[in-house]
Structure 1
Amino acid sequence: MEKREFTASLVAGGCAGMCVDLTLFPLDTIKTRLQSQQGFTKAGGFRGIYAGVPSAAIGSFPNAAAFFVTYESTKSMLGAHGALSAPHMAPVTHMLGASLGEVVACLIRVPTEVVKQRTQASLSSNTYQVLLATLREEVGRHHNPSILQYLFFHSLHMFHACVCIQTVCVWCVFPNTYLVFVQGVRGLYRGYKSTVLREIPFSLVQFPLWEYLKTQWSWRQGHTLYSWQAAVCGAFAGGIAAFVTTPLDVAKTRIMLAKAGTSTASGNIPLVLLDVWKTRGLTGLFSGSIPRVTSISLGGFIFLGAYEKVRRTLL
């Protein structure tokens, strides 16, 4: 993969991510509240549907950029030579590229998603307050409460003051407070496994289907697709992938919203799905599917259409 292609994928992916996340944020809030354990109304209903948007805005660009750089690099590397370079093996290449892309992107996506969803489901708190509460909750499970308050807030003030200083310097000067902060960060990665296990099946459906639809449409009309046509393909692929992976999304949402120390917070997806099945049945497993499919279909149109447009412009 050439440097120019790398840069184009990086910038195009980041721009596409910001466009789709900020445009469709209200639908995402409604979906999160429908899937929350406390129920739609108690989680806020239709009130404050932009709660948590700062977290989404911060994570959108690097998250999508990381995904597309990994996706395009994997496609380029695997498709250059060897058994996977054959045309009939293209879907396998797309699946591998999408899977690796999700694993990398989720390292950025999960912390912002945890804060965003907790803010969406708790109207009484803003993004900053939810971040503090998430860190404090996880730290409290590993440290003596009598010294926790001092260490936590001391580390927080230190973090704000030294946000531009490299991590190694912070650790050398404040080793104890740094350790407490790291313990708290674990809470931000709750749901990482469930998110990856949801996103990989989603991408295994969406991206090979998107590439296939583009190839077929291009072949039928005899020339490369316009950006809006690639966007239409993205809408269909995204909608189908969204529906079949809704149960995994329900499990991921419940795990992220769960309080530390509960059985749900352990991240056991089969147990969470079994609990949903017992309490709410098939309806519960597919709760939020309508806003999810609607959101991701529109998202696929905006996200993949914007990506194609920006990438082609840069190339």
Structure 2
Amino acid sequence: MSQQISLPAKLINGGIAGIVGVTCVFPIDLAKTRLQNQRQGQQVYKSMIDCLIKTVRTEGYFGMYRGAAVNLTLVTPEKAIKLAANDFFRCHLSRNGRGLNVFKEMLAGCAAGMCQVIVTTPMEMLKIQLQDAGRLAAQQRKPGLIPPTRLAANTVLCRSYNVVPNSSARAVSATQIARELLHTQGIQGLYKGLGATLLRDVPFSIVYFPLFANLNKLGKPSPDEAAPFYWSFISGCVAGSTAAVAVNPCDVVKTRLQSLSKGANEDTYSGIVDCFSKIMRREGPSAFLKGAGCRALVIAPLFGIVQVMYFLGVGEFIVSQTQLKLISD
């Protein structure tokens, strides 16, 4: 019975953890995106705190949750696929129920990271357009920062996001953006930056899952007992933040590639190598650490919450209750 309900239970655990985590840390994720998209000489925000303060001041409290709807909608399948896929591959790589060595842990994490990009790429693509709209608007409001001859390049997104000053500004939804992209570019429009997303998510999973497994093992009273929930939470936070910082350069490249609407004098990129070389040449190595602190603050509690959900067995409880109801009927 436990084998039969294992997969749906893990899907539920991952989904609930994703929704709770995203709701708690989304404003920090918004700050991360805006900081990563800033170029030298065009800084609107000095730090994460400065970004959040200016966002609330100019866009209101809910301005910090631009793009949250698409994240909340897609984070359930995204986290569920990632976590369930890792467990699936771990199960098939283990022999006779014995634990995995570090190489097999990394292999399972790699496979899980490759599976999740099916949902992650369009989710990130839509989220970034909504999150970065406020930065472009703030950039144009800042005196002397943008020459009047150069505005954002993408006409569809300029119209949608109101990056050009407009007295009748209107909000745009993820659905509208998706329709525009599908109409003009087809399905590949939603998967722009797929290579960069793989470059970020596969190494993240390779680092995260083995690190969490080994950290969590240290908190077990004995090999046959589970670690306390607080230890699972701490292990998830440490492993998540470590992996997040490790792959931050890839996240910067992904964010730049997926930002369709550009500010004044901001480069366009033809691919991963072009993006990496232009950032290195014009902004230096430190540019690849932009938003690293914010990303660590986003990922740490998110994966800590995930591990607590797994420890509490919320998914297992929901699935078992559902089966009991079906049997009683």
TM-score, normalised relative to structure 1: 0.75
Residues 40, 8 of structure 1: CA spacing in aligned structure 2 closer, same or farther, 3 A cutoff?
Answer: farther
User: Which of 176, 179, 185 is equivalent to 1:132?
Assistant: 176
Q: Partner residue of 1:46?
A: 55
Higher mean C-alpha displacement, 184-193 vs 125-134: 125-134
Aligned pairs for 1:159-174 (under 5 A) are none
User: Which of 83, 94, 117 is equivalent to 2:128?
Assistant: 117
User: Which of 284, 287, 297 is equivalent to 1:284?
Assistant: 287
Q: Partner residue of 1:32?
A: 33
Aligned pairs for 1:232-251 (under 5 A) are 232-251=234-253
Residues 46, 212 of structure 1: CA spacing in aligned structure 2 closer, same or farther, 3 A cutoff?
Answer: same
Q: Partner residue of 1:305?
A: 308
Aligned pairs for 1:59-78 (under 5 A) are 59-78=74-93
Structure 2 alignment gaps of length 5 or more? 46-50, 57-62, 135-160, 163-169, 321-329
Residues 200, 127 of structure 1: CA spacing in aligned structure 2 closer, same or farther, 3 A cutoff?
Answer: farther
Report if aligned partners of 2:12, 2:315 keep a CA contact under 8 Å in 1: no
Identity %: 24
Report if aligned partners of 2:241, 2:296 keep a CA contact under 8 Å in 1: yes
Higher mean C-alpha displacement, 239-248 vs 118-127: 118-127
Aligned pairs for 1:183-202 (under 5 A) are 183-202=185-204
Report if aligned partners of 1:231, 1:305 keep a CA contact under 8 Å in 2: yes
Residues 138, 279 of structure 1: CA spacing in aligned structure 2 closer, same or farther, 3 A cutoff?
Answer: farther
Q: Structure 1: which amino acid aligns with 2:130? A: T
Secondary structure of 2:284's partner? helix
Secondary structure of 1:122's partner? helix
Residues 91, 311 of structure 1: CA spacing in aligned structure 2 closer, same or farther, 3 A cutoff?
Answer: farther
Higher mean C-alpha displacement, 39-48 vs 287-296: 39-48
> What are the superposed Cα offsets for residues 53-111 of structure 1, whole Å, 9 maximum, x if unpaired?
11111101111111122111111111135xxx764x43222222222222221111211
Report if aligned partners of 1:134, 1:184 keep a CA contact under 8 Å in 2: no
Report if aligned partners of 1:116, 1:127 keep a CA contact under 8 Å in 2: no
User: Which of 224, 227, 232 is equivalent to 2:226?
Assistant: 224
Secondary structure of 1:41's partner? coil
> What are the superposed Cα offsets for residues 6-59 of structure 1, whole Å, 9 maximum, x if unpaired?
121111111111111121100000000001146562899534211111111110
Residues 136, 37 of structure 1: CA spacing in aligned structure 2 closer, same or farther, 3 A cutoff?
Answer: farther
For the aligned residue pairs, the C-alpha RMSD in angstroms reads 2.9
> What are the superposed Cα offsets for residues 151-194 of structure 1, whole Å, 9 maximum, x if unpaired?
xxxxxxxxxxxxxxxxxxxxxxxxxxxxxxxx433211111111
Secondary structure of 1:121's partner? helix
Q: Following TM superposition, by how much is the alpha carbon of 1:234 offset from its aligned partner in structure 2, in angstroms?
A: 0.7
Q: Quote the Cα distance in structure 2 between the aligned partners of 1:101 and 1:281.
A: 32
1:206 aligns with 2:208: yes
Q: Structure 2: which amino acid aligns with 1:288? A: G
> What are the superposed Cα offsets for residues 215-241 of structure 1, whole Å, 9 maximum, x if unpaired?
122157994212221010011111111
Residues 278, 218 of structure 1: CA spacing in aligned structure 2 closer, same or farther, 3 A cutoff?
Answer: same
Report if aligned partners of 2:11, 2:315 keep a CA contact under 8 Å in 1: no
Q: Structure 2: which amino acid aligns with 1:294? A: L
Q: Structure 2: which amino acid aligns with 1:9? A: K
Q: Structure 2: which amino acid aligns with 1:97? A: A
Q: Partner residue of 2:113?
A: 102
Higher mean C-alpha displacement, 292-301 vs 67-76: 292-301
> What are the superposed Cα offsets for residues 131-166 of structure 1, whole Å, 9 maximum, x if unpaired?
4346535744xxxxxxxxxxxxxxxxxxxxxxxxxx
Q: Which runs of 4+ in 1 moved over 6 A?
A: none
User: Which of 268, 292, 297 is equivalent to 1:294?
Assistant: 297
TM-score, normalised relative to structure 2: 0.72
